[in-house]
Structures are given as C-alpha cells and as structure tokens.
Amino acid sequence: MTGAKTAVETAAAVRSGDRSARSVVEEALAAISSREEELHACNEVMADSARARAGAIDAAVAHGEDPGPLAGVPIALKDNLCVQGELTTCSSKILEGWRPPYTATVVERLLAAGAIPIAKTNLDEFAMGSSTENSAFGPTRNPHDMTRVPGGSSGGSAAAVSAGYVPLALGSDTGGSIRQPAAFCGVVGVKPTYGRVSRYGLIAFASSLDQIGPFATTVDDAALLLETIWGPDQMDSTSIPSQPDPIGAGSDVSGLRIGIIEELTDLEGIAPEVRASVERAASGLEGSGAHIERVSIPSCAYGLSAYYLIAPAEASSNLARYDGVRYGLRVDGADVAEMNAKTRAAGFGAEVKRRIMLGTYALSAGYYDAYYGQAQKVRTLIIGDFAQAYERFDVLLSPTAPTEAFKIGAKTADPLAMYMSDICTIPTNLAGHAAMSVPFGTGAEGLPIGVQVLAPALGESVMFTVARAVEGLR
Amino acid sequence: MTTYETVIGLEVHVELATRTKLFCGCANEFGAEPNTHVCPVCLGLPGSLPVLNRTVVEFALLLGVALNFDVPPSSIFHRKNYFYPDMPKDFQVSQFDEPICVDGWIDVAGERIRIERAHMEEDTGKTTHMGGGGRIHDADYSLVDYNRAGIPLLEIVSRPDMGSAEQARGYVSELRAILATIGISDVKMEEGSMRVDANVSLRANSTDVLGTKVEIKNMNSLRSLGRAIDSEIERQSAMLDSEEVIIQETRHWDEVAGITHGMRSKEGSSDYRYFPEPDLVPVAPTDEMRKVARESVPELPAPKRERLISDWGIGSSDARVLVDDRALCAYAEAAVAAGGSGKDVTNWCTGEILGYLNEHGSTPEALILRPEGLAELVALLADDTLSRSLAKDVLEECLATPVMPREVVERRGLAQMNDEGELAALVDEVLGRNEDAIAQWKAGDEKARKKKRGFLMGELMKTSGSKGNPKVLNQLLDERLHD
C-alpha cells in the first residue's frame, strides 16, 4: 500500500488551492506507470484527457470557482462504462474498436463533481467471472501477490485502488463483482440498492441484477463517491425516483441489531480465518454497543442456483445485439446468419458462450417454467426471507468471499468452483438490497479478507455506519 | 363438392402518431433520410436503456375506451428474442401474456366481433435488399434504415369471429374509422401505418373444430385484403376437396399475380424465448389517466352515423362516406351548425365538394369556401334564390376565390326570378314571337309535342338569362299551351 491521500483529502486540497489537480494526475499516472506492466489493471489509460481536465480544474480554482466535491480526484472506471469517444471494450474482442457516442450517467455526474477519469479498467469479459481471468486482454494480478487473482469481475478497478493508482474506482456488481474483488484486494467495495444508481451507460450483463458502485480505500471515500453518482435518472426506468438522504458520517452502532447470517458464515468451504474475521468484527461491534445474534436465512442456500439461471437468461438476450451488423467485430459469412454466427464464435470467450447457452436453454419453450420460472420463485423466497430477517435486524453480517484471493489458474478449469466464490454476495443482488465489503483481517496466506455488511433496500445510511465501525475496529 | 365455413381472425398493427418513438426522444416521422432519426436507445447501443413514452400509454387507454377493452391494473413488457439485422437489439420489446388491453369488441354491420387484446410494441428497422430483384435470398447486399426502429405500435388482435372477406373488410374499415376518430394513428394502409395480417382457416360446415390456419401478409389496401382472403379461401377449398393437408404457415400476398405465395420458413421453429423485460417497470395507468381517456374519446363512428341519419335524414351510405372522412364530416357539421340543412349539406359535401377535393388533391380544411359559405349556398337554393344549375356555377366560383355565395349572386345578378307576374310577362313575350312553334305543338303527335315544348322551355330559360324559376315557368307554359 502506498501512503496516497484519500479522495476526501485530495478534493479538499484541490478545492482550497493547496494542491493542483495537475500534480494529482501526474502522481496517479506515475503510479500507474510504475506497476501497470506487472498488474495489468487497465485496458486504457486516458492520460491526455485526464491532463486536460486537470488543467481545466486548476483554471477554475484559480478563477475562484468550486469544481465540485471530487475536485481533481482521479478515478478509474470499469471498462463496461460508456465514455463518449473512448474505447469501451467490456474486455471482449467483440467490441473491438467501438467508441460510444454517449457517456454513462454516472460518469457525467463524476465529471460534474470535478472528478478526473484516468483509466478504463480490466474485467472478466462482460463482467462474467470472479477472477478477471476471463478477459480477452489477459488477467489482472492482485497487487498484494502477483501470483493471485484480484477477484472479479471488477478486478481491474479493485487492483487500481489497492495498488494506489487512484483513491477511487467504479465497478459493477451483478453477483458480487464489486464486493468480492474488494475483499481480495483489501479495499472497500459497495453494491448499492438496486435502482439507486443509474445503469444508463453501463453495458448490461444481467439487467435485473447489475448495479454500479464504488471502490475506495476508506468507508468515507466510498460514501463520498456513492453520494456523487446516486439518485434518480430519467434515462433509467428502474432508477428509484426519490432523492436519497445523505449517508451521514456516523459510526455509532450502540443499540443496533446485527445478525450474522448462518447459511453464509457456517457454510462448508468458508475458510476458518474468514469465519473468524466475521466473528471478530461481530464481537467488536458488540463491544461498541450493538446487539449481535445469529440469524437463519434458509433460502440463501439456493441463491447461487437461482442466480445461474436468471443472470445467464438475461445475458443471453442482452448480448444478442453483438451480431456484427452495426459495430464492433464482424467476421464475414455467406449470408447474414453465417456472419452473425462466425462473428459471435470469434468474438466471445468461453465463459460468455457458456452463459449465453445456459441462458438460452433456461428460456426455451418447454424449459422456461422448470428453470427461469423456478429461479424467479426462489428469488421471491429470498426476498421474503430477508424481509423477515430485517424485521428483527438493522443490518446483517457475513463473509464477502469464502476464501482469500486464490492463485491465478486455480479455478479456471472448474467453472462451478469459480461460481462458488460468489456464494456470499449473490443473495443481495437477487433481493435488490445493498451490501458492502470492508477489509477486516487476513487469511492464512496473509492476504486481505473482507467482511460483508448487508442492509435492506435503501438502507445505505445504517450500512455505512456499521461499515465505519468495522473499519474503526482494525 | 363440400362446402366449408371460413374462419378469419385479423392482427392489425397500427403505427401510433406520437411525436417521439416508444422508448426514446427520436422523432417519429415518416420519410426522413435513412438513419437520421436514431440515438443510442433506438439503435440499441451497448449500455442504453428504454424509457416508456407516456403518450403511447395514453393512446392505448383511448383505444381501450373506443374498442370496449378491459385495461387491467398493470401490464408488462416482454422481450421477444430472435436475430434479425433490422432489429438493433436482436430482440423486440413487446407485450406478451399481460397486455395493456384485453377482451374488447366492436359491432360491424350488426355483428359483434370480439377483440382478444391490444398490446404495445416497438417497430423494427427497415431492410432494403439490393440486387437479385429485391429478395433477401438473391440479394447482393442489404441496407438497413433504423429510423423506423422503435416507432410505437399497437397490435390489435381479433378473435376468429369473421366468416368472409367482406366481413373482414368491414371490420378493418370500422377499426380504421375508430382509430382516425380517436386520433392515435394516420391509419394509412398504403404507407404502412396500418398493417393487416389475416389468419384464415376453413372447416367443414358440420364441425366445430377449427381447421389449420394460414397467416397471410402484405396486403396494403382494403381491396387487397379482400382479394387475398378470397384467394386463400379458394386455395384451401381446392386443397381440402382433393384431401390435401393444409400446413400452418405464413403466406405472402402477391398483388400483381392475385395469389398468395408460401414464404420460406424461418430456420427452425420460432421459439422467441419471451421473458419479462428487466429494463422496464410495469405499466400501471392511474385512475386519473383512465378518467382522462374516458373523457377524451370523441363521438365514435357508429353512434355518429346513427345521429346523422336520424338528425339530418340522410341515407346510411352517405352517413358512412361522411363519417369515414373525419375532415369532411367536420366541415359538413360546421355548415349545418351555420344554418344549412343537413340533407342538402350532405348532398353537396358527398357530391360536388368531394369531387373537387379528389380532383385537386385538397382537404376540407384547405377549402377557400368555409362551412358558413356552404350553409349560405344551401340556403340560397332552399329559398329559391338560386336554381340548382346556377348554384353549381356559384359554388365553382366560391371554391376558386374567397367570396361568399350571396356576393356572387348579387354581383352577377344571378338571383332567380320567382315573381309570377314577371314570369307570366316573360312567357307572353316568348310565346308571342314563337307562334309557329305553338302551332306545331298543337298539331303534333306526342313526340313532336315533347320536342316543341322542350324548345319553348329552352327559349324561356334563355330569355330569362337562366334566372327564371324553372318550376314556375314549366307550370305557366303548360297552362298557356293547354289554354
């Protein structure tokens, strides 16, 4: 870890004129240069546009203007977020050469707040994976151990923050793709309530589960970033129409009722150090005045199965548009159908193809009820079980991931083992709730472990309070 | 030969006349340069999301009222998945098992036609196949125009309640009049803003079981709809007579050849893998929206025809002509409101005025003669100020220049002579200089008499400068001849 300043500190320094945005950007570019060759966290470094923006921010400050709450803060963007005119790849060959003619809502909001997008980060192709090994451009490595994965799918963003390139990054979380890499890389990662952050400009994997969220080194930085990007957006029909209340700066957990989810903590396959970290966090919180109890959410056990029907089903439809007709890769064929098929065969990687096939099958006539329909019922059960739990608890705790970061290549031959690394994070996506991972403790190999704080829909404020308290226990 | 009962159900796609597309702000406009009304949303670019156009829901609610539909508390969109280059996302956003309108009906010529449903969906782009006679399989390449992609459609699906081409045409004609009345579509079959697909099956008269249905497409007028159905009935009857098996398929109407062709079947069977569109939320019209819809539906064609027939004393075919042409009907109603008699106004509107409009490709709104002028003309005729033939002259002038009929009559001195004393003097004068003709009339047989009488009447009109009241002149002439 570097001694880099937090986003809160950097923004304050730039706004007051104590530091120039140019120097902040140059420092970030230098950090990227020093480690990027070995890490491969970035698909694209936007040095020119970052320098230009930094110059504009410095000029604004010199004119006595306030560039905004993220003034001069460099930020990395997962490469499934559209930025007008910038290569946007989803780490897939199929989007070869595509530059979006428009910018995602979250990025517009970052720019309006004075932030400086500096890199597009690597991911598992179309966000499908848990290790960033499914990238068409090669894997990203864990800054804590070059032989290990950073987690995924937002592994590039997690690594960029963890390696000190930037204090902030955005990722997307469909089944744990922010929280699990945050845990593996020892940073804070947040999946907000579904609908809290606009998905306009986020290239879809599974629309009913995808949600954009922050990576940061501190809980406060994550809150600052989330408050910058969230809120209603008329370009996203699923965006929650109400204005969110401020997250607040509290860390007082006295009187809060906190449940430890048995099904996710006592599960076979959870490393002892991971379980111990959750328990240690819980007893720390108890020491700060919280009431701790164990709670059973039985349907959590079926989350993974339901997820691997719903997410691929939606993906099979979302990814149909990559057909070689309008943009990206085209491999010619004798007729349109052959061109479509050849393009998709050449453009998609193995995991993406696997999920498109799974999803197509799950939606097929005669199988819909047994697979997709049944999975939706499980989803309803999970929502019901969580609702019951939240009658008794303000927030819930669990591990973020079953283990610390695993070795590169360790699970690539076994998709099911790979899928298992999202078992603790998936239920939140199915329920549409909020959850975040806070670094807490280390594993047997000395790598970071994350504790997951789960909250009901729109429960970000209490979730951040507890996360801050956990952070304070370190 | 066996006789068969024909069973017809119709699927009518209507392009809605909204300002913008179904899920984005692009203009909904026919005939623009290709790919100029497009944006990330209707091009389905990665990361874009649909947002439902509220006007489309309002239009669907109007349709709900007009076609006696139930509108359930909420309906949802589904994705219909299939690959086609004119579909930017390779799925169509449509409604499936929870459409916005269900269980409607309309009456057509005294028969009730049930309507299963109406649902909202997006149109696809338009593909033009270049070379190879414009057919996809022989084309060198194809061009796609996405201006049409995302144009809002309502698909109106009838029950199989029609038994003849005639009845199917009647249904579509009535539907078209209703859609025009509620103002949600241009309903031009020729331009494709109203597209009709027909499902046709035959069954032996003795059975209740439906036969295999065949879908026919590509009819671009009411006339071709009728012809296509009749041709399909003929084809299927012949097949059944020779005990051939009818296969369920889609057939293409060939307007020139006057027959349907089987289309090459799409590869594999069509499994569209429908599932709820996760990027949209359920459509739940509020009570306020429903109330506005109920109050916004104007008088519908059927009750309007009945009203005109009973209030104006006009025939049902005139009533249909008027009501099917909303602008002309509005014109006629304004003329009646300005004092014209309904029957006379209708005669002029469906006669000379409609003729003028067709000849000049004009619209009632654009006529120089305003409805008040027509009312005045009708009144001048009714009070015998104008003869019918002079009235046509006056109308002609009023359609060409901005003058009122009375002005024309006064300026040109066209007022009819109705004074009996004046007319009697005129008769005396004309008969006085035509003693020969009178003699010939007296001596002639019936044929000669008729001829001479016609001659004398012509002289009278000529002498009066066409202004003599012909009825009175006729009467006076008869009296004098028979003296």
B271 touching chain A per CB within 8 A: yes
According to the model, what pLDDT value does residue A3 have?
A: 46
User: Which strands sit side by side in the sheet containing A395-399, from one edge to the other?
Assistant: A42-45, A116-121, A74-78, A168-172, A212-216, A188-191, A434-442, A448-455, A395-399, A257-261, A291-295
Q: Which residue of B has its CA nearest to A106?
A: B47
Phi, psi (rounded to 5 degrees) for A452: -95, 130
Q: Which two tokens stand for residue B324?
A: 């099917």
Please tell me what DSSP assigns to residue A406: P
Distance from the Cα of residue B363 to its chain's centroid = 14
Amino acid at B440: Q
Q: What is the pLDDT of residues A223-245, one digit of tens each?
A: 999 999 999 999 999 999 999 99
According to the model, what pLDDT value does residue B1 have?
A: 58
> Is B275 close to A368, i.e. CB distance below 8 A?
yes
Active site residues of A: 78, 153, 177
The fold of the B420-481 domain, in CATH, is: Arc Repressor Mutant, subunit A (1.10.10)
User: CA-to-CA distance for A435 and A194, rounded, in angstroms?
Assistant: 11
DSSP letters of B151-205? -EEEEEEE-S-B-SHHHHHHHHHHHHHHHHHHTS----TTTTSEEEEEEEEEEET
According to the model, what pLDDT value does residue B267 have?
A: 42
User: CA-to-CA distance for A51 and A118, rounded, in angstroms?
Assistant: 9
Contacts 24+ apart (CB under 8 A), B416-424: B416/B384, B416/B385, B416/B386, B416/B387, B416/B390, B416/B467, B416/B468, B416/B469, B417/B464, B417/B467, B417/B468, B417/B469, B418/B384, B418/B469, B418/B472, B420/B472, B420/B476, B423/B464, B423/B468, B423/B469, B423/B472, B423/B473, B423/B476, B424/B476
According to the model, what pLDDT value does residue B274 have?
A: 96
Rg of chain A over Cα atoms, rounded to whole angstroms, equals 21
Mean pLDDT, residues B290-295: 98
Residue A144 has pLDDT above 80, yes or no: yes
* Closest residue to A201, CB basis, from B47, B85, B280: B47
> Is A337 close to B83, i.e. CB distance below 8 A?
yes
Measured CA distances, A109 to A154, A227, B76 (Å): 20, 10, 31
Q: What is the dihedral of CA A259, A264, A269, A275, to 10 degrees?
A: -20
More confident residue, B207 or A170: A170
* Closest residue to A234, CB basis, from B51, B85, B273: B51
Q: What is the pLDDT of residues B32-66, one digit of tens each?
A: 999 999 999 999 999 999 999 999 999 999 999 99
> Is A336 close to B280, i.e. CB distance below 8 A?
no
> Is B49 close to A88, i.e. CB distance below 8 A?
no
Among chain A, residues having any CB pair with chain B shorter than 8 Å are: 80-82, 88, 90, 95, 98, 100-102, 104, 199-204, 206-208, 234-238, 313-314, 316-317, 320-321, 323, 325-327, 336-337, 340, 360, 363-365, 368, 372
A-interface mutation test, from B45, B52, B79, B280, most A Cβ less than 10 A away: B45
Q: What is the pLDDT of residues A248-265, one digit of tens each?
A: 999 999 999 999 999 999
Tell me the residue length of chain B.
Answer: 483
Indicate the pLDDT class of residue B438, thresholds 50, 70 and 90. Answer: confident
User: CA-to-CA distance for B409 and B416, rounded, in angstroms?
Assistant: 9
More confident residue, B389 or A197: A197
According to the model, what pLDDT value does residue B362 have?
A: 93
* SS3 (DSSP) at A111: helix
Q: What is the pLDDT of residues B366-390, one digit of tens each?
A: 999 999 999 999 999 888 888 787 8
According to the model, what pLDDT value does residue B436 have?
A: 85
Mean pLDDT, residues A409-419: 92
- What count of CB pairs under 8 Å joins A to B? 98
> Is A326 close to B271, i.e. CB distance below 8 A?
no
Tell me the residue length of chain A.
Answer: 474
User: CA-to-CA distance for B272 and A209, rounded, in angstroms?
Assistant: 22
Chain A: closest CA distance from residue B154 (Å): 21
Asked whether the beta carbons of B30 and B182 are under 8 A apart, the reply is no
- Helices B420-432 and B446-463, interaxial angle, to 10°? 120
Q: Which two tokens stand for residue B466?
A: 């066409």
* Closest residue to B278, CB basis, from A208, A363, A364: A208
List of residues 6+ apart from A429 with CB closer than 8 A = A173, A174, A175, A176, A191, A194, A209, A211, A307
What is the CATH code of the structural domain delimited by A1-297+371-474?
3.90.1300.10
> Is A237 close to B279, i.e. CB distance below 8 A?
yes
Indicate the pLDDT class of residue B144, thresholds 50, 70 and 90. Answer: very high
According to the model, what pLDDT value does residue B265 have?
A: 57
Mean pLDDT, residues A190-214: 98
Phi, psi (rounded to 5 degrees) for B384: 65, 15
Indicate the pLDDT class of residue A354, thresholds 50, 70 and 90. Answer: very high
Q: Please report which residue ranges of A168-296 form alpha helices under DSSP H.
A: 179-185, 219-229, 262-265, 272-287
> Is A200 close to B281, i.e. CB distance below 8 A?
no
> Is B47 close to A204, i.e. CB distance below 8 A?
yes
- Give chain A positions within 8 Å (CB) of B145: none
Mean pLDDT of chain B: 92
* SS3 (DSSP) at A448: strand
- Give chain A positions within 8 Å (CB) of B45: 100-102, 327
- Give chain A positions within 8 Å (CB) of B270: none
- Give chain A positions within 8 Å (CB) of B91: 317, 320
According to the model, what pLDDT value does residue B447 have?
A: 87
Asked whether the beta carbons of A126 and A203 are under 8 A apart, the reply is yes
Indicate the pLDDT class of residue A1, thresholds 50, 70 and 90. Answer: very low
Mean pLDDT, residues B80-91: 96
Closest alpha carbon to B427 in B468, B378, B389: B468
Q: Which two tokens stand for residue A301?
A: 């056990």
Closest alpha carbon to B47 in A166, A427, A437, A210: A210
Chain A: closest CA distance from residue B109 (Å): 41
Q: What is the pLDDT of residues A21-65, one digit of tens each?
A: 999 999 999 999 999 999 999 999 999 999 999 999 999 999 999
Mean pLDDT, residues A348-356: 98
According to the model, what pLDDT value does residue B462 have?
A: 87
List of residues 6+ apart from A104 with CB closer than 8 A = A81, A82, A83, A198, A200, A201, A202, B47
Q: Which residue of B has its CA nearest to A333?
A: B141
Interface of B with A in 150-209 (CB under 8 A): none
Phi, psi (rounded to 5 degrees) for A45: -105, 125
Residue B264 has pLDDT above 70, yes or no: no
**Strand duo A448-455 + B101-108: pairing:** unpaired
> Is B47 close to A321, i.e. CB distance below 8 A?
no
Q: What is the pLDDT of residues A301-315, one digit of tens each?
A: 899 999 999 999 999
Residue A2 has pLDDT above 60, yes or no: no
B-interface mutation test, from A321, A343, A372, most B Cβ less than 10 A away: A321
Residue B217 has pLDDT above 90, yes or no: yes
Closest alpha carbon to A226 in A114, A84, A112, A109: A109
More confident residue, B46 or B1: B46
According to the model, what pLDDT value does residue A197 have?
A: 98
Domain boundaries, chain A: 1-297+371-474, 305-369
User: CA-to-CA distance for A173 and A189, rounded, in angstroms?
Assistant: 10
Mean pLDDT, residues B415-441: 85
Q: How many CB atoms lie within 10 A of CB A409?
A: 12
> Is A88 close to B46, i.e. CB distance below 8 A?
yes
- Give chain B positions within 8 Å (CB) of A236: 49, 51
> Is A238 close to B142, i.e. CB distance below 8 A?
no
User: CA-to-CA distance for A168 and A114, rounded, in angstroms?
Assistant: 13
State what percent of residues in chain B have pLDDT above 70.
Answer: 98
Rg of chain B over Cα atoms, rounded to whole angstroms, equals 30
Chain B: closest CA distance from residue A467 (Å): 31
Question: Which residue has 């003329």 as its token pair?
Answer: B335
Asked whether the beta carbons of B283 and B52 are under 8 A apart, the reply is yes
Chain B: closest CA distance from residue A453 (Å): 27
In sequence order, the β-bridge partners of residue B112 are B107
Mean pLDDT, residues B212-238: 95
Mean pLDDT of chain A: 97
* Closest residue to B278, CB basis, from A88, A314, A316: A314
Q: What is the pLDDT of residues B16-25, one digit of tens each?
A: 999 999 999 9
- Give chain A positions within 8 Å (CB) of B34: none
Question: Which residue has 């109308």 as its token pair?
Answer: B395
According to the model, what pLDDT value does residue A368 have?
A: 93
User: CA-to-CA distance for A184 and A165, rounded, in angstroms?
Assistant: 17
According to the model, what pLDDT value does residue B50 have?
A: 98
Least confident of A58-62, A439-443, B461-465: B461-465
